[in-house]
Chain A
Amino acid sequence: MAQRNNKYDRQLRIWGEHGQTALERARVCVLNCGPTGSEALKNLVLGGIGSFTIVDASEVSVSDLGNNYLVDWESMGQSKAKSVCALLQELNESVVAKFVEESPEALLKSNPTFFAQFTLVIATQMTETHLLKLEEICRQHNVMLVIARSYGLAGLVRISVREHVIIESKPDNRVEDLRLHIPWPELQSYVDEFDIDTPDNNIHKHIPFAILLIKIAEDWKKAHGGKLPANVRLFKEAITARRRVVEEEDNYTEALKSAYIMLFPPGISSQLRAVLEDKAAEVEASSSDFWIMVAALKQFMANEGQGEPPLDGAIPDMHSFTDYYIKLQKIYQARAEADVTAVEGYVARILKRIGRDSSPIPRSTIKLFCKNSRNLRVLRCKMLSDEYSSRSGSELQRLLAAEESRFFFEQFLCSHPALYILLRAVDHFAATYNRFPGAFDGEIEEDVSRLKSLAVGLLNDMGGGGASLPEDVVSEVCRFGASEIHCVASIVGGIASQECIKLLTRQFTPIQGTLIYNAMSATSLVLNV
């Protein structure tokens, strides 16, 4: 156990014990173990997933030895799935490794329920028609699906899940939940104990900035008919006026830095609002724990919360005496605990109402939910079948038009929508001509025009007619010859594995849309078609 914690130390620090446990329970299936599938799986095996099964009928050939690290010379001519499986096992003895020597396409036909046993399926290097079939099966059995494709110097990653709820989205731009603009009674009492104009200079420079901000705002309101300062600049001036020795008063520096929170508190994000207003929050017997807690959250916010979610309870470090800070910290923690208890009460009443009082939700789960309530997210992925038959080509049209006026858009947007269309067009090409464009050197020029007309036709079908596809991108895609280049596969597989981790741990936010990767510019763009 100590060794397991040691081994995973650098990742436990990101997703914690509960995240790691979720990974260790995961049963992952990988379709096709060329470099894309192998690289995606390598990262997951290193991360400690519970088990994996590779589905691939091909044999190890010379070209595999040149682009796939997870095959070796000794396996030449043998099952590629077997070779990759064995070499992956070496990377982590704790993972259960299996393989099936069949083509994913054949398995889809002969035994579709095979996929029901998995938590998540990674489908690599598969074409449209088969992906559509696979998606149907995965949706039917509530199996998460991650699609990854490496194609020459381009790549694609997409997720397909019916509903993915996230408590711990851990956004980068988290704002501190200090509630300085609405101090509750216990906080207010503590604030009242302070005299921020104390003659004692040592105390003066050790009062926590939260106290300073509340006090100074109070004084302002008293002098201005109960109103807060009209802008941050005025508030900062009022703060500076109470400062004594600029170089030494770090607490005042912190107060100035955080002054804006008084006038612009975090509020309720549009994402949270969408979750609260979601139909699934109208819970009944079969509702999941997440939605039951959302329903409880709504009731809390309508009552004790007064429009605010439960208090986070954590506060940033503040330059001050130890015991001032510790006391303040305890006040925040106590309030957060009280909010959790209130929400727990609503949860219990809801469970009773829907007839589920025999299986309560643990307080620890409710506590985690409350602490992260401001950042809840729900993901519902559009089905591929809807995307492929969509008539929303206008979004693509807009992006393609932007390409042409490169003055107005940054270079990194270059060609992603074109690659999206072309990556679909190559599958149509293959369906028509039984090979991918650029497979034969002698026919490249003809293939370019064949591919172009297929792509333009596709764009028209999607309602994006009129937009033009950059000529150079079309011929580049032809030159790719449907090759699977190791470095590109490593990146595409890397991205796919990272998405899997987010889905399995239920932490951080997965891609919403189709990600197109361009190795020529080293950029990516997520398209919502």
Chain B
Amino acid sequence: MILKKRKKLLESLQNDFRVLVIGAGGLGCELLKDLALSGFGLIHVIDMDTIDVSNLNRQFLFRIQDVGKPKAEVAAARVMQRVKGVTVVPHFCRIEEKDVSFYQDFQIIVLGLDSIEARSYINSVVCGFLVYEEDGSPDMTTIKPLVDGGTEGFRGHARVIYPGLTPCFHCSLWLFPPQVTFPLCTLAETPRSPAHCIEYAHLIQWGQERQGETFDADNPEHMKWIYDQALKRGAQFNISGITYSLTQGVVKNIVPAIASTNAIVAATCALEILKIATMFSTGMDVYMQYTGTEGIYMRTVPHDKDPNCTMCSAGVPVDVDNTITLQKFIDQLLKDSRFKLKLSKPSVSYHGTNLYMQAPPVLEEMTRPNLQLPLLGLMDGNTSGVLNINDRRLTGVLRVRVTFKEGPDSVDMDTVGGV
């Protein structure tokens, strides 16, 4: 693209901006092309998958000879071959294998992912970089924009997330429809559809009859076994319509996908990235929905972030007695139903200072005395403030906004003072 009179801007795009593309599949291939042809000079791409024949109807950077090779590596090589001046660095690994500092290196991260779990993970990493000022507003220098795209058949979405300003992925989890699961009694006792027979073979029979063997959906022998068992069950219950294609679809949760929708959504994401990098135009407000089944429909939906989001907010509000000790505070957190399943052995820090660390042993020993101290004192006497909670069960940091209140109990002699 020739940007008139903006040679400096182009140079900046080429040399100063580092963009990370997560996923080198349907959206990823399009994103790499779009970003390269928009002038970005340094792009990283990460994907743990290898190329499959069924990718070839849309993942245009791959050829039949590439089947079996890592997507990230083949994609990077093809784009660099076609577009001079761009460097694409591939990473053939899982997103969890990268240290959090890897992600911090990029100005913008764009997602071409196909699972809620993967999106959640990156969302929590990026929200973890967010630091809030005392007044509850985000420190702008810690905001790392995240652009997220998704497609399914003729539908798709694109959105821009500025953690701390616009809704993060977690704030808007309700946008994703619930996953379909069948009740156990239906699968085991009253199957009615081909899918019921298939899932019975997949989720129940496999475990019973092929003990010790992990089911691998990409293993044709495993898939054929499921199909054969499903057919038998179908015959037993007089259910017809079980095909190999349906079996694959149900077991692998296959999402139909075509080139055109991916092209539209990816380019929409790339334009937003270009807007963030160069501010040449207003950005989308804030979430774009695309449907192509009846006419073409592309509209944006503004919405606000959840002020109590556990990932990106200034902190989940927790009221505490103003005499509470750090130990009792941790106990209170563990009993709080909002954090059920999220916490097991929480570590607590305040403005970068470790108040109590569960690990490693050296830090644990050093911070253990703080457990008996009043929290109010540990928070410099501020009647409210944000604590960062870390825990093995959490993928990122959990922010908790503590407000001290006059307790109904009399003052505990053990904990008085410390202010």
A residues contacting B by CB (< 8 A) are: 3, 6-14, 39, 42-43, 46-48, 63, 65-69, 72-73, 90-92, 153, 157, 169-172, 206, 250, 317-323, 325-326, 410-412, 441, 481, 483, 485-488, 490-491, 493-495, 497-499, 501-502, 508-512, 515, 517, 519-524, 526
A297 to chain B minimum Cβ distance, whole angstroms, is 22
Bound-complex Cα distance A242 to B158 (A): 46
With A491-B263, A501-B260, A519-B271 already in contact, 6 other A-B pairs whose C-beta atoms are closer than 8 Å: A10-B256, A13-B256, A66-B1, A68-B37, A501-B258, A522-B158
Known: A250-B183, A499-B296, A510-B295. A46 touches B58 (CB 8 A): yes
By the criterion CB–CB under 8 Å, are A69 and B183 in contact?
Answer: no
Known: A47-B57, A172-B294, A317-B193. A66 touches B238 (CB 8 A): no
Residues of chain B within 8 A (CB-CB) of A412 are 299-300
Q: Which residue of A lies closest to B56 (CB)?
A: A7
Q: For window 278-314 of chain B, which residues contact chain A by CB distance below 8 Å?
A: 281-282, 284-285, 288, 291-300, 302
By the criterion CB–CB under 8 Å, are A495 and B259 in contact?
Answer: no
By the criterion CB–CB under 8 Å, are B259 and A42 in contact?
Answer: yes
18 A-B contacts, Cβ less than 8 Å apart? Answer: A7-B57, A9-B54, A13-B245, A14-B258, A92-B56, A169-B294, A172-B294, A411-B285, A486-B34, A487-B37, A487-B268, A488-B271, A490-B267, A498-B154, A498-B260, A501-B260, A522-B268, A522-B272
Bound-complex Cα distance A67 to B292 (A): 25
Q: Which single member of B4, B60, B154, B255 contacts A508 (CB below 8 Å)?
A: B154
> Is there a chain A Cβ closer than 8 Å to B334's Cβ?
no
Residues of chain A within 8 A (CB-CB) of B191 are 322
By the criterion CB–CB under 8 Å, are B257 and A69 in contact?
Answer: no
Q: Which single member of B84, B256, B263, B295 contacts A490 (CB below 8 Å)?
A: B263
A218 to chain B minimum Cβ distance, whole angstroms, is 25
By the criterion CB–CB under 8 Å, are A521 and B284 in contact?
Answer: yes
Known: A11-B256, A11-B258. A509 touches B190 (CB 8 A): no
Bound-complex Cα distance A66 to B38 (A): 8
By the criterion CB–CB under 8 Å, are B302 and A411 in contact?
Answer: yes
> Is there a chain A Cβ closer than 8 Å to B392's Cβ?
no
Q: For window 57-103 of chain B, which residues contact chain A by CB distance below 8 Å?
A: 57-58, 60, 63-64, 82-84
Shortest 4 CB-CB distances between A and B: which pairs? A494-B263, A490-B267, A522-B284, A524-B298
Residues of chain B within 8 A (CB-CB) of A14 are 153-154, 256, 258
Q: Which single member of B30, B154, B192, B300 contacts A325 (CB below 8 Å)?
A: B192
Residues of chain B within 8 A (CB-CB) of A486 are 1, 34, 37-38, 267
Q: Which single member of B249, B254, B295, B298 contacts A517 (CB below 8 Å)?
A: B298
B27 to chain A minimum Cβ distance, whole angstroms, is 12
By the criterion CB–CB under 8 Å, are B299 and A523 in contact?
Answer: yes
By the criterion CB–CB under 8 Å, are A326 and B84 in contact?
Answer: no
> Is there a chain A Cβ closer than 8 Å to B127's Cβ?
no
Known: A206-B190, A320-B190, A411-B285. A498 touches B292 (CB 8 A): yes
A526 to chain B minimum Cβ distance, whole angstroms, is 6
By the criterion CB–CB under 8 Å, are B293 and A508 in contact?
Answer: yes
Bound-complex Cα distance A477 to B292 (A): 27
Residues of chain A within 8 A (CB-CB) of B33 are 69, 490
> Is there a chain A Cβ closer than 8 Å to B270's Cβ?
yes
Known: A47-B258, A490-B263, A498-B292. A73 touches B84 (CB 8 A): yes
Bound-complex Cα distance A65 to B86 (A): 13
A105 to chain B minimum Cβ distance, whole angstroms, is 24
Bound-complex Cα distance A501 to B58 (A): 14
By the criterion CB–CB under 8 Å, are A322 and B256 in contact?
Answer: no
By the criterion CB–CB under 8 Å, are A322 and B84 in contact?
Answer: no
Known: A47-B57, A172-B293, A491-B268. A323 touches B263 (CB 8 A): no
Q: For window 237-268 of chain B, which residues contact chain A by CB distance below 8 Å?
A: 237-239, 245, 249, 254-261, 263-264, 266-268
By the criterion CB–CB under 8 Å, are B270 and A487 in contact?
Answer: yes
Known: A322-B190, A494-B263, A497-B259. A90 touches B63 (CB 8 A): yes
Q: Which residue of B lies closest to A93 (CB)?
A: B64
Q: Which residue of B lies closest to A73 (CB)?
A: B84
By the criterion CB–CB under 8 Å, are B259 and A526 in contact?
Answer: no
Q: Which residue of A lies closest to B272 (CB)?
A: A522
By the criterion CB–CB under 8 Å, are A69 and B82 in contact?
Answer: yes
Known: A172-B293, A495-B296. A441 touches B5 (CB 8 A): yes
Q: Which residue of B lies closest to A173 (CB)?
A: B294
Q: Which residue of B lies closest to A42 (CB)?
A: B60
Chain A CB within 10 Å — which of B54, B183, B296 has the most?
A: B296
Residues of chain B within 8 A (CB-CB) of A490 are 30, 33-34, 263-264, 266-267, 270
A207 to chain B minimum Cβ distance, whole angstroms, is 12
Residues of chain B within 8 A (CB-CB) of A512 are 295
> Is there a chain A Cβ closer than 8 Å to B186's Cβ?
yes
By the criterion CB–CB under 8 Å, are A7 and B54 in contact?
Answer: yes
Q: Which residue of A lies closest to B39 (CB)?
A: A66
B315 to chain A minimum Cβ distance, whole angstroms, is 31
Q: Which single member of A8, A320, A523 contacts B57 (CB below 8 Å)?
A: A8
> Is there a chain A Cβ closer than 8 Å to B204's Cβ?
no
A318 to chain B minimum Cβ distance, whole angstroms, is 7
By the criterion CB–CB under 8 Å, are B261 and A10 in contact?
Answer: no
A345 to chain B minimum Cβ distance, whole angstroms, is 27
> Is there a chain A Cβ closer than 8 Å to B389's Cβ?
no
> Is there a chain A Cβ closer than 8 Å to B53's Cβ?
yes
Residues of chain B within 8 A (CB-CB) of A9 are 54, 57, 245, 254
By the criterion CB–CB under 8 Å, are B1 and A323 in contact?
Answer: no
Encode contact with A along B138-172: 1 for CB under 8 Å, 0 otherwise: 00000000000000011000100000000000000
By the criterion CB–CB under 8 Å, are A495 and B153 in contact?
Answer: no
Known: A63-B2, A498-B261. A319 touches B285 (CB 8 A): no
> Is there a chain A Cβ closer than 8 Å to B375's Cβ?
no
By the criterion CB–CB under 8 Å, are B263 and A522 in contact?
Answer: no
Q: Which single member of A317, A321, A325, A521 contacts B285 (CB below 8 Å)?
A: A521
By the criterion CB–CB under 8 Å, are A46 and B259 in contact?
Answer: yes
By the criterion CB–CB under 8 Å, are A498 and B296 in contact?
Answer: yes
By the criterion CB–CB under 8 Å, are A10 and B254 in contact?
Answer: yes
Q: Which residue of A lies closest to B249 (CB)?
A: A13
Q: Which single member of A8, A67, A171, A322 contacts B37 (CB below 8 Å)?
A: A67
Q: Which single member of B2, B38, B186, B296 contacts A511 (CB below 8 Å)?
A: B296
Q: For window 174-197 of chain B, which residues contact chain A by CB distance below 8 Å?
A: 183, 186, 190-193
Residues of chain A within 8 A (CB-CB) of B60 are 42, 46, 91
By the criterion CB–CB under 8 Å, are A322 and B192 in contact?
Answer: yes
